[in-house]
Chain A
Amino acid sequence: MLSLVTFLPFVGALLVAILPQGVAKMASLGVSLLVLAVSLPLWFGYDPAGANFQFVENMPWIDAFGVSYHMGIDGVSLLLILLTTVLTPIIVLAGFSGVEHGHRGYFALMLALEGAMIGTFCALDTFVFYVFWELVLIPMYFLIGIWGGQRRIYATVKFFIYTVVGSLLMLVAFIALYHWQYTQTGVWSTDLETLLKLHIPYSAQLWMFLCFALAFAIKVPMFPFHTWLPDAHVEAPTGGSVVLAGVMLKMGTYGFYRFAMPLFPDAVVTFGPAMIGLAVIGIVYGALVAMVQDDVKKLVAYSSVSHLGYCMLGLFALNAQGVSGSVFQMINHGISTGALFLLVGVLYERRHTRMIAEYGGLAKVVPKFAFVFMVVTFSSIGLPGLNGFVGEFLVLLGAFQFAPVPTAIAVSGVIFGATYMLWCFQRMVFGPLQNAANAELKDLVPREMAYLAPLLVAIVLLGVYPQPFLDRINPSVNRFVARFAEHYDGTPYKHAGPVPGWIAGNH
């Protein structure tokens, strides 16, 4: 089942690559819809009360290394996979216009990217995870480099190098872990579930966690490793930006959730304050920088830095609300930031500029666009009733129990967030129509409405009725949190102070 969802996009990518140029669009739309259809049974078949990992597939792959092809999902991976399979057809549909050359390559890479990302979310073997994790880079590298904007080569190389530096250090730590496993048990294995049973000395945990955390922090991106993101986002084609913000950044937070934190619980306690500190800096800094951008795509890129800060804050709060909120926030961010990038793409295709100052008074010319933009803006700033609110609220609730001062600072990010988004919205949509070039703008065409509509539905649905989603997240999150409780007798949770509670771990 999981293999089907993972490898169907790859097959589709090959198909699109060899079919004639003319049918590339329809073929890739068909494939991506098929993948979506195939992934839906995961949602219905997933038993929230059941085992931690479901739809498990486990077979030997490389005996010499003890690597097994081990796939399985919990509630968190389930939602991230669905996010991927829902976003991909939307991206493909959005790519019908705006991609000016080489359709076959563009859509084939997009599908390959989808497969690699789904594989990343399914892998329960560290080796398999690493393979998919790196595999994601290659299509993205070409998507930005070939179909990107002016400084695309700089952006794509920067993106690749940043990620690879982190990944290689993670590889070293992972190999060290793999040997630790061998010396303790006498069996070679890269299986996550086996590795989780290890007892790793504190000092080794520290450096291994740092290596893993660096790889994931670059991907998230956490301050101060975020500088690749604005470049990559601004230069990427619309579809690339949507995938990047929508799904790829979550690979970083997911990496923390699935690997870095459960594997090295002692190190998590030690570095927790620092991680929370960086997350809070990211929230505030990202918001402040977003505020002064005059390029709307850059603004959305920095808003991602800020929003992902909430995800990290929630994860390191290490309690059920915080982590659930963080996961929920990952999904929200995928939907609303994805929608924002799509909207920017719509404008860019018409006017070929992303400067906020070039627009103004759009409400009169393109009312449908203005309406969608408004809903997405409200979702992004976390208006109650829409999806953004649920995630942010849970994160802040969880984090406050435990680190009140940093959380209080983080709350200011919510205010800044409202400021930059609303200000941007106001400058672009309201006011008099000053720029004559905007007078003839075409409103959303049916195709554009077709791909924006599902996102709007999701924004409202997740905001009004988040329960089915939280039901699937919560059991997994509770297990995740319990792992830390096991290790520290719950002490970090009893102390509601920013630093002392953290240090209370027993080394």
Chain B
Amino acid sequence: MPTFNDLWLVSPSLLLFFGALVIMLAEAIVRPASKSGFSAIAMVVLFASAGLTASLYGSDPASAFGGMLRVDKFGLFSQLICLIAGMLAVSFSNDYLERLGLRVGEYYALVLFGVMGMGLMAQANDLIMVFVSLEVMSISMYILCALKRADPRSVEAGFKYFILGAFSSGLMLYGISFLYGGVGTTSLPGISAYFMGPHAPGQEGVLVAIGGALLITGFGFKVASVPFHMWAPDVYQGAPITVTSLMASGVKAASFAAFARFVFGVVGAHVSGFTGVLWWMAALTMVVGNLGALAQRDLKRMLAYSSIAHAGYLLMALSAAAEGSARANPALASLLYYLLAYTFMNAGAFIVLAAFTRDGADNTDIDALAGLGKRKPWLAAGLSLCLLSMAGIPPTMGFVGKFYLFSAAIQSGNVGLAIVGALAAASGVYYYLRPMVYMYMKDGHAETESSPAAYAGLAVSGFALLAFGLIPGPMLAVAQQSLQSLFG
């Protein structure tokens, strides 16, 4: 029986849940004309949930629902990132969906459900809970991807994501059962304690290896790391832009948080072979993501490959995190900091792309950007800032984040991986510059349309990127503080 304290600990998620229900009910009764108010409701709910998350952040870490969730600063910080990703996505949803001809209240309900799943996943302390919240998140995303029912690309995206996603969920569940067979529990602290304690050597080694490998596959799929990245470009391209934005940052943040708990708490210190696996995944992901993006002319595909590349940088931190102690682990702190940075720069870029959507169709070809610097200097400046941040050029938040990530990798002795990453990032600069070439150095006349809310979202992202780039101290301190209560 859940106690009141349990409910208080999950109140941010509960709020999202009820908000989603309200929107679904209202969808049935409210006249179509007043449905634009839904985005305001969603925004308020997300904002209130973020407020609750922030207020929980101050309290001591606690387990909820019999150890299913662990509400600690690490989880709450990750949840906050997901909520920010949600808010930024909602900020430009309303007018974007209207221009696409999609006036659906369910959209906001699904966004709220999705963000709820992300938040819970970041705090899940039991593999079963990881799986359940992952499904809550993923199923919302599958539907959101296919929202543009008339557009074959969108349907393809949703279908592809669903099939592959379901497959990877299956593998993950299979992995969980192997681990359970080997260790006898699905609780993360339980598994960790099993490895720490004396245990008879036996068949469980094989079971754990298979289970761990399958789980890494599942996580690798969700964060779009090589070799499980194939779906990302198609899905990112087909999905509505707002959904892509949420998927690239929110899903990534939640999956990395759960992945980090799993890697750090379970496999890292005990099953050393996995560190090598993560090393190779990180190296390949950085290289393939950056090289893949070079050839893209469609900006959504370009950003999809860029998102893969960023997953690679984050994996680099994760493979560094697998070694060393939890409390003062710079790798985990850099992971959190970079996820936050990525959320801002990613959302900002997609907000600008969404401005080109007209008459029910997206226009994300790079040619659309031509001449934007003259027509819409603020949009162009915002996109440039986001791209420079993604490229890791100072004085942006992306630079501080990358510095921190590389620093963590080198500290753990992974100089080789850092050099691979630096070279991959250097080739990445080329495709981050190209949109700027089009915006400022070519002439064009693609029309744009943005609502004040979208501008506000862009302004918030841009401000955050600059502010946390110039004065990173306080936010770094928060990221480091977030680790203090990790793993009891």
Residue of A nearest to B473 (CB): A62
- Contact residues of B between 401 and 423, Cβ < 8 Å to A: 403-404, 406-407, 410-411, 415, 418-419, 422-423
Given contacts A152-B441, A179-B410, contact A157 B394 (CB under 8 A): no
Residue of B nearest to A176 (CB): B410
Report the separation of the CA atoms of residues A62 and B430 in the bound assembly, to the nearest whole angstrom. 29
Q: Once the chains bind, are A153 and B480 in contact (CB under 8 Å)?
A: no
- Contact residues of B between 383 and 401, Cβ < 8 Å to A: 388, 391-395, 399-400
Number of interface residues of A (CB under 8 A): 33
Contacts of A152 in B (CB 8 A): 441
Does any Cβ of B come within 8 Å of A141's Cβ?
Answer: yes
Nearest chain A CB to B415 CB, angstrom units: 6
Contacts of B480 in A (CB 8 A): 64
Q: Once the chains bind, are A171 and B403 in contact (CB under 8 Å)?
A: yes
Task: Kindly state the interface size class of chain B when it binds its partner.
Answer: 20 to 34
Q: Which of A131-139, A239-247, A248-256, A286-294 contacts B (4 or more CB under 8 A)?
A: A131-139
Contacts of B410 in A (CB 8 A): 172, 175-176, 179
Q: Once the chains bind, are A130 and B407 in contact (CB under 8 Å)?
A: no
Report the separation of the CA atoms of residues A470 and B392 in the bound assembly, to the nearest whole angstrom. 39
- Contact residues of A between 119 and 149, Cβ < 8 Å to B: 127, 130-131, 134-135, 137-138, 141-142, 145-146
Q: Once the chains bind, are A178 and B407 in contact (CB under 8 Å)?
A: yes
Nearest chain B CB to A235 CB, angstrom units: 11
Nearest chain A CB to B268 CB, angstrom units: 20
Contact with B along A147-174 (1 / 0, CB 8 A): 0000011001100110011001101100
Contacts of B434 in A (CB 8 A): 157
Contacts of A156 in B (CB 8 A): 437, 441
Report the separation of the CA atoms of residues A137 and B394 in the bound assembly, to the nearest whole angstrom. 10
Q: Once the chains bind, are B406 and A131 in contact (CB under 8 Å)?
A: no
Contact partner of B403 (CB less than 8 A), chosen from A146, A165, A169, A175, is A175
Does any Cβ of B come within 8 Å of A61's Cβ?
Answer: yes
Report the separation of the CA atoms of residues A137 and B434 in the bound assembly, to the nearest whole angstrom. 15
Contacts of B423 in A (CB 8 A): 165, 168-169
Q: Once the chains bind, are B422 and A134 in contact (CB under 8 Å)?
A: no
Q: Once the chains bind, are A179 and B411 in contact (CB under 8 Å)?
A: yes
- Contact residues of A between 185 and 236, Cβ < 8 Å to B: none
Nearest chain B CB to A189 CB, angstrom units: 13
Report the separation of the CA atoms of residues A145 and B437 in the bound assembly, to the nearest whole angstrom. 7
Given contacts A63-B473, A153-B441, A161-B426, contact A175 B394 (CB under 8 A): no
Contact partner of A64 (CB less than 8 A), chosen from B430, B437, B441, B476, is B476
Given contacts A138-B388, A141-B433, A142-B440, contact A169 B394 (CB under 8 A): no
Contacts of A160 in B (CB 8 A): 429, 433
Does any Cβ of A come within 8 Å of B425's Cβ?
Answer: yes
Contacts of A175 in B (CB 8 A): 403, 406-407, 410, 418
- Contact residues of A between 39 and 77, Cβ < 8 Å to B: 61-65
Given contacts A175-B403, A176-B410, contact A169 B437 (CB under 8 A): no
Given contacts A168-B422, A168-B425, A178-B407, contact A145 B440 (CB under 8 A): yes
Q: Once the chains bind, are B407 and A179 in contact (CB under 8 Å)?
A: yes
Q: Once the chains bind, are B441 and A145 in contact (CB under 8 Å)?
A: yes
Nearest chain A CB to B411 CB, angstrom units: 5
Given contacts A62-B473, A171-B406, A175-B403, contact A131 B429 (CB under 8 A): no
Given contacts A145-B437, A146-B441, contact A164 B429 (CB under 8 A): yes
- Contact residues of A between 392 and 426, Cβ < 8 Å to B: none
Q: Once the chains bind, are B425 and A153 in contact (CB under 8 Å)?
A: no
Nearest chain A CB to B395 CB, angstrom units: 6
Report the separation of the CA atoms of residues A176 and B409 in the bound assembly, to the nearest whole angstrom. 10
Report the separation of the CA atoms of residues A426 and B423 in the bound assembly, to the nearest whole angstrom. 47
Contacts of B406 in A (CB 8 A): 171-172, 175
Does any Cβ of A come within 8 Å of B456's Cβ?
Answer: no
Q: Once the chains bind, are A161 and B430 in contact (CB under 8 Å)?
A: yes
Contact partner of A131 (CB less than 8 A), chosen from B394, B407, B418, B422, is B394
Q: Once the chains bind, are B418 and A146 in contact (CB under 8 Å)?
A: no
Does any Cβ of A come within 8 Å of B460's Cβ?
Answer: no
Does any Cβ of A come within 8 Å of B67's Cβ?
Answer: no
Nearest chain A CB to B338 CB, angstrom units: 14
Does any Cβ of A come within 8 Å of B277's Cβ?
Answer: no
Contact with B along A287-319 (1 / 0, CB 8 A): 000000000000000000000000000000000
Q: Once the chains bind, are B411 and A161 in contact (CB under 8 Å)?
A: no
Nearest chain A CB to B26 CB, angstrom units: 44
Q: Once the chains bind, are B473 and A169 in contact (CB under 8 Å)?
A: no
Q: Once the chains bind, are A157 and B422 in contact (CB under 8 Å)?
A: no
Nearest chain B CB to A57 CB, angstrom units: 17
Nearest chain A CB to B238 CB, angstrom units: 30
Residue of A nearest to B472 (CB): A62
Nearest chain B CB to A399 CB, angstrom units: 33
Q: Once the chains bind, are A153 and B437 in contact (CB under 8 Å)?
A: yes
Contact partner of B393 (CB less than 8 A), chosen from A61, A138, A157, is A138
Does any Cβ of A come within 8 Å of B477's Cβ?
Answer: yes
Contacts of B440 in A (CB 8 A): 142, 145-146
Contacts of B407 in A (CB 8 A): 65, 175, 178-179
Report the separation of the CA atoms of residues A153 and B441 in the bound assembly, to the nearest whole angstrom. 7
Contacts of A130 in B (CB 8 A): 394
Q: Once the chains bind, are A176 and B415 in contact (CB under 8 Å)?
A: yes
Contacts of A62 in B (CB 8 A): 400, 472-473, 476
Q: Once the chains bind, are A172 and B477 in contact (CB under 8 Å)?
A: no
Residue of B nearest to A182 (CB): B411
Q: Once the chains bind, are B418 and A172 in contact (CB under 8 Å)?
A: yes
Report the separation of the CA atoms of residues A175 and B408 in the bound assembly, to the nearest whole angstrom. 9
Q: Once the chains bind, are B426 and A168 in contact (CB under 8 Å)?
A: yes
Nearest chain B CB to A249 CB, angstrom units: 20
Contacts of B426 in A (CB 8 A): 161, 164-165, 168-169
Contacts of A165 in B (CB 8 A): 423, 426
Q: Once the chains bind, are A135 and B394 in contact (CB under 8 Å)?
A: yes
Given contacts A131-B394, A131-B395, contact A172 B415 (CB under 8 A): yes
Report the separation of the CA atoms of residues A146 and B373 in the bound assembly, to the nearest whole angstrom. 11
Nearest chain B CB to A59 CB, angstrom units: 12
Q: Once the chains bind, are B393 and A134 in contact (CB under 8 Å)?
A: yes
Nearest chain A CB to B325 CB, angstrom units: 15
Nearest chain A CB to B330 CB, angstrom units: 9
Nearest chain A CB to B313 CB, angstrom units: 12
Q: Once the chains bind, are A169 and B422 in contact (CB under 8 Å)?
A: yes
Which interface residue of A130, A145, A182 has the most chain B CB atoms within 10 A?
A: A145
Report the separation of the CA atoms of residues A474 and B118 in the bound assembly, to the nearest whole angstrom. 62
Report the separation of the CA atoms of residues A134 and B403 in the bound assembly, to the nearest whole angstrom. 13
Nearest chain A CB to B367 CB, angstrom units: 14
Which interface residue of B388, B433, B441, B472 has the most chain A CB atoms within 10 A?
A: B441
Report the separation of the CA atoms of residues A160 and B388 in the bound assembly, to the nearest whole angstrom. 12
Nearest chain A CB to B355 CB, angstrom units: 21
Report the separation of the CA atoms of residues A62 and B425 in the bound assembly, to the nearest whole angstrom. 24
Contacts of B476 in A (CB 8 A): 62, 64-65
Nearest chain A CB to B99 CB, angstrom units: 30
Residue of B nearest to A63 (CB): B473
Report the separation of the CA atoms of residues A157 and B415 in the bound assembly, to the nearest whole angstrom. 28
Q: Once the chains bind, are A172 and B422 in contact (CB under 8 Å)?
A: yes
Contacts of B441 in A (CB 8 A): 145-146, 152-153, 156
- A positions within 8 Å CB-CB of B: 61-65, 127, 130-131, 134-135, 137-138, 141-142, 145-146, 152-153, 156-157, 160-161, 164-165, 168-169, 171-172, 175-176, 178-179, 182
10 A–B contacts from the bound complex (CB under 8 Å): A62-B400, A65-B403, A65-B404, A142-B440, A168-B423, A169-B423, A171-B403, A171-B422, A172-B410, A175-B406
Known: A62-B473, A65-B404, A178-B407. 13 other contacts (CB 8 A): A62-B472, A63-B477, A134-B394, A134-B399, A135-B394, A137-B393, A145-B436, A152-B441, A157-B434, A171-B406, A172-B419, A172-B422, A179-B407
- B positions within 8 Å CB-CB of A: 388, 391-395, 399-400, 403-404, 406-407, 410-411, 415, 418-419, 422-423, 425-426, 429-430, 433-434, 436-437, 440-441, 472-473, 476-477, 480
- A-B pairs, 5 with minimum CB distance: A64-B476, A168-B422, A131-B394, A165-B426, A145-B441
